[in-house]
Amino acid sequence: MKSRKSRRLSKLLKKKFYGGAICSPTRKASGGTCYKDSELMHIRNVWNNYSSDKITATTTREIWKQLHDKMKNVCKDENCWAEQPFLHNTDLKSSFAPKHPKSWNSNPNEWLSSVDILSVMKQYEKAYKCFKFLGPYPIDFDGEKGKCVEREMCDFQLKKYIDKGYKKIGFVFNTDPHYKSGEHWISLFINLKTQEIFFFDSAGDKVPSEIKAFVDRIIQQGSQLSLNIHFDQNEKTHQHTSTECGMYALYFIINMLKDTTNSKKIKTTRIPDKDVFRMRKRYFNQA
């Protein structure tokens, strides 16, 4: 049976996590923290090398509490610990979801940039070894008249990804060409387990010709590998506001990856803007 002190500490840890930092998808919060036991001990040891105000705790729960108490004047959550100067040579930031741009603090529904999208997707690549993310790419990724804009797409070979053990591949595209600033985010998902390629535009528009040509190439490559890959697309209007297309692209890929949705559900049941807007606080930490 837990002591009163232990229960208070557990409550503090739980409150701290759920009211504070969001873990990377590679981590599951254990005891209310995104850090592994070994990382907490490492932070303690580095702290003790730099500070005369030593951390004397030996259990990870007590180490966490002492770190929290000693850094509470400069850090509102444990994500901030990894950014402190005394830990500059350690790689602890990957324990947490990426931070959103500071501009979101005054404009919380700001459009996602390619950097925002990539920072989230790269963490899901690490969390799911069967998953590969490609993009974000402009709509003219294949170029014109033999000119290639994105070499990885021009030279795409399905067999290469299969040989590396990937079962699911996600793509994000912008409907603007590479020489423009960006207009609308759309996405594509390959599930080799179900032998399906699904195109998703939150506005419900049909697949652009550039992406359809790419899909046809993949289907042909799959046929040569004895795969009967079929294509489908969303034609339902999910997005009603003008700001959340990037979040819809992330939401679609992440939930297809986790098998928490499927193409049939996406085609028939609307995902409200408010639901994907809320996910900003799940996919990103506050800056």
Q: How confident is the prediction along the chain (287 residues), in pLDDT tens digits per residue?
A: 555 655 554 554 444 443 368 999 998 766 779 999 999 999 999 999 999 999 999 999 999 999 999 999 999 889 999 999 999 867 899 999 999 999 999 999 999 999 999 999 999 999 999 999 999 999 999 977 668 999 999 999 999 999 999 999 999 999 999 999 999 999 999 999 999 999 999 999 999 999 999 999 999 999 999 999 999 999 999 999 999 999 999 999 999 999 999 999 999 999 999 999 999 999 999 88
Do 167 and 124 share a structural domain? yes
Do 149 and 28 share a structural domain? no
CA angle 27, 185, 148 (to 5 degrees): 100
Last residue of a domain, one of 45, 63, 95: 95
Do 154 and 107 share a structural domain? yes
Do 173 and 89 share a structural domain? no
C-alpha separations of 219 from 54, 105, 161, 227, 246 in Å: 61, 43, 14, 8, 26
Do 165 and 144 share a structural domain? yes
Do 158 and 23 share a structural domain? no
The domain of 266 spans 102-283
Do 178 and 278 share a structural domain? yes
Of the candidates 123, 90, 98, the residue with the CA atom closest to the CA atom of residue 21: 98
Return d(Cα 32, Cα 244) in angstroms, integer.
Answer: 30
> What CATH number is given to the structural domain containing 263?
3.40.395.10
Do 31 and 108 share a structural domain? no
Last residue of a domain, one of 73, 95, 117: 95
Do 123 and 191 share a structural domain? yes
Tokens of 43: 């932070």
Tokens of 255: 């939930």
Strand segments, DSSP code E, in 92-229 are 131-138, 168-174, 185-191, 196-200
Do 202 and 152 share a structural domain? yes
Do 240 and 277 share a structural domain? yes
Return d(Cα 212, Cα 218) in angstroms, integer.
Answer: 10
Based on the structure, what is the number of domains in the chain? Answer: 2
Phi, psi values for residue 156, rounded to 5°? -60, 125
Do 146 and 258 share a structural domain? yes
Last residue of a domain, one of 38, 60, 95: 95
